[in-house]
Amino acid sequence: MKYDMDDLLRESMSKDIKPSLELNQSVLQRDREEYGMISSHNGKHSRKFKIAKVAVAAMAGLVITSGVAYAATQLWNEDVASKFGVADDNGGMQELKDKGFADVPESTDSQIASVTSKGIEVIALQTLADKKSAYLYLEVDYGDEYAAVTHGATADSDTWVAYPDIDITSSKDQNLSWSGGAAQVKDAHTVTYEYYVMAQDSDFSNCDINIDISKFTVDNVKADTTPDVLIKGDWNLKWKISSGAEKRIYHINKTLKVKGKEVTINRLEITPLSYTLYLDGEEKDTKEDAPVVSKIYLGEDEFTGMGGMSIVSSIEDTGTFSEILDVNKLTGFKYGDKKIDITDCEYETVDSLDGQ
Amino acid sequence: MREDNLNNLIDSYGDELYKFCYHLARNRVDADDLYQDTFLKAIQLRHRLVGSGNVGEQYTEEEANRKNRNFMMGIAVNLWKNQSRRNNRRRSMVNIDEYTHGELQIKSNENVENDSLRREVIKRLNDHIDNLPDKLKVVVCMYYTAEMKTGDIAKILHVPSGTVKSRLHLARKQLKRSLEADGYEI
């Protein structure tokens, strides 16, 4: 007998099971207990609040703006927590520490930047940064005058999202590469955006990062190549990034055939948020089918956070992660068609690249 | 006021959410925990619910319901993912027979023999679903249990819609291969 997979899946998950009355009562009871506890025990509330702010300090860095408004406080953003696979609570904070983001600033005065101009507000919600890369999570409130989407926020397929024309620089005059785009449509006037930023020649320690937005555009619905300008203006954000987690450099120095071509892999630089694989040779045009690091192995497990930004050339392959990598568990990676074990490779730990 | 809000949430989305939690967690104990935690989280974030006065006035009732439902499912998925990471060892020890034998009710088919065979296939399928990587399992559960659109799943998981489709495709392919290895024709 032949079965249809789609039918089987629907049938296997078709059981219509309902919560018991007791379970619903216990939800209400737990809410009364937990809500009541926070309301009446100031000490506990304050402590919880402080830890949450430290979580922001660890991952968001200190956020300072020039001539713009401050948000009072900002908790560990749950969108970012979800994306990077950590809980948006104290457990998540502990998990971050366990994964190498241990350099937690003592300050609890972290503030997230925001700037409003011409009715559009840009808010820096969260930053994750290590020694090589940063992830920026911004929210733009287009206000009542501008629609963030052209076909309604709930449309599934024909939603055209407005986006900022953005320039990202740093106070260290670093050679930055970045990519990003809309992350989530919150409602018809609010969209969040994510940007992966890589610093090739120095790290983000104690450096100000600047965001300059000169206009907001939206892709032309009629598929013209030129996006429509929603509004021009000047939106500037500036804040200091704190990069806590270390960077590791594995010296591999192996020559092997990858997809039929001989390559020498020099070294792998890896952080919880990104990697760069350096190859020996001369820089030349890279074809689209050039080998890349496609998998990272953590013992018997595969790291599930591959994705994000990618830059490939004939002498290096760089990528950012969509989850936080525990570099302590790293055992190897797959480059092209070759699995490379690095458990025997020597590595050095880099706390700061300043001055190099 | 707060309790009224919570009661309304339970009335509106409780049954559907519990079914989703149950199929995601795959046993009653974890499903109960996930269900409770989801509501408690939702009530903390109730300002984000459509119709709460902050957002949503521009939505029809149907759209608002869908957004709120997806919001609840999204919380459940995120909580489950976090819980799942912490409890991987514990989850592997949960007896999935409870799910596959004790509680799952298979629809009857043309005759008893076919029904029995189909029951066996579903049992094996559930074993294999349980062994899927979390990323694939979540998408399968959202799509088949909660009957969510791929666009909505994409928004909740913060991935492109194409990624959701490819995960669904990959999950079906892996499950098909596993069932074929068991000797079934798919």
Q: Å from B156 to nearest chain A CA?
A: 8
| Residues B163, B154: Cα–Cα separation, whole Å | 8
pLDDT at residue A219 in the model:
66
- Identify the pLDDT of residue A51: 22
At B23-66, the pLDDT tens digits run 888 888 888 989 998 988 888 777 677 765 444 456 778 888 88
Per-residue model confidence as pLDDT tens digits over B120-162: 888 889 889 988 888 888 899 999 988 888 888 888 887 788 8
Binary contact (B43, A85; C-beta < 8 A): no
* Cβ atoms of residues A330 and A270 within 8 Å: yes
Q: Residues of A with CB below 8 A from B172's CB?
A: 5-6, 9
Residue of A nearest to B29 (CA): A23
Task: Name the minimum distance, in Å, from the CA of B19 to any CA of chain A.
Answer: 5
Please judge whether A31 and B39 are an interchain contact, meaning their C-beta atoms are less than 8 angstroms apart: yes
Whether B23 contacts chain A with CB within 8 A: yes
pLDDT at residue B161, rounded to an integer? 81
Closest Cβ–Cβ partner in A185, A188, A304 for B58: A188
Contact list in A for residue B113 (CB cut-off 8 A) is: none
Q: Which two tokens stand for residue A144?
A: 């009542």
Q: Please give the pLDDT value at position A277.
A: 92
**pLDDT score of B172:** 92
Return the biggest CA–CA distance within chain A. Answer: 72
With beta carbons under 8 A apart, name residues in chain A contacting B40: 27, 30-31, 34
Please judge whether B19 and A16 are an interchain contact, meaning their C-beta atoms are less than 8 angstroms apart.
yes
Q: Is B30 near chain A, with CB under 8 Å?
A: no
Q: Do B22 and A17 touch (CB under 8 A)?
A: yes
Nearest-10 crossing angle of helices B28-44, B2-25:
140
Q: Does B39 touch chain A (CB under 8 A)?
A: yes
Chain B residue with the nearest C-alpha to that of A302: B133
Answer whether B113 touches A (CB < 8 Å).
Answer: no
Who contacts A22 (Cβ-Cβ below 8 Å, separation ≥6)? Answer: none
Q: Do A28 and B3 touch (CB under 8 A)?
A: yes
Cβ atoms A112, A123 nearer than 8 A: yes
Please name the residue of chain B whose CA is at the shortest distance from the CA of residue A38: B44
In contact, B155 and A79? CB cutoff 8 Å: no
- Pick A259 or B174 by higher pLDDT: B174
How far apart CA B183 and CA B123 sit, in angstroms, is: 14
Ranges of residues in chain A whose predicted pLDDT is under 70: 33-78, 82, 85-112, 150-160, 200-202, 219-226, 242-245, 282-289, 307-309, 351-356
Find the closest chain B residue to A17 by CA distance. Answer: B19
Write the secondary structure of chain A as one string of H (helix), E (strand) and C (coil).
CECCHHHHHHHHCCCCCCCCHHHHHHHHHHHHHHHHHHHHCHHHHHHHHHHHHHHHHHHHCCCCCCCCCECCCCCCCHHHHHHCCCCCCHHHHHHHHHCCCCCCCCCCCCCCEEEEECCEEEEEEEEEEECCEEEEEEEEECCCCCCCECCCCCCCCCCCEEEEEEEEEECCCCCEEEEEEEEEEEECCEEEEEEEEEECCCCCCCEEEEEEEEEEEECCCCCCCCCEEEEEEEEEEEEEECCCECEEEEEEEEEEEECCEEEEEEEEEECCCEEEEEECCCCCCCCCCCCCEEEEEECCEECCCEEEEEEECCCEEEEEECCCCCHHHCCEEEECCEEEECCCCEEEEECCCCCC
Give the one of B35, B56, B140 whose C-beta lies nearest to A19's C-beta: B35
Contacts of B85 in chain A (CB under 8 A): 85, 95
Q: pLDDT digit string (tens) for B74-125?
A: 888 878 876 665 444 333 333 333 444 333 333 333 455 667 788 888 888 9
Q: B22 and A28: CB-CB below 8 Å?
A: no
How far apart CA B141 and CA B21 sit, in angstroms, is 9
Q: What is the pLDDT of residue A321?
A: 84
d(CA A166, CA A204): 19
Pairwise CB contact (< 8 Å): A85 & B82: yes
Q: What is the pLDDT of residue A267?
A: 93
| B184 close to A (CB below 8 A) | yes
- Note the pTM of the prediction, 2 decimals: 0.49
Pick from A246, A249, A278: nearest CA to A348: A249
Which pLDDT score, from 0 to 100, does residue A153 have? 38
DSSP string for residues in B77-127: HHHHHHHHHHTHHHHHHS-THIIIIII--PPP-SSHHHHHHHHHHHHHHHH
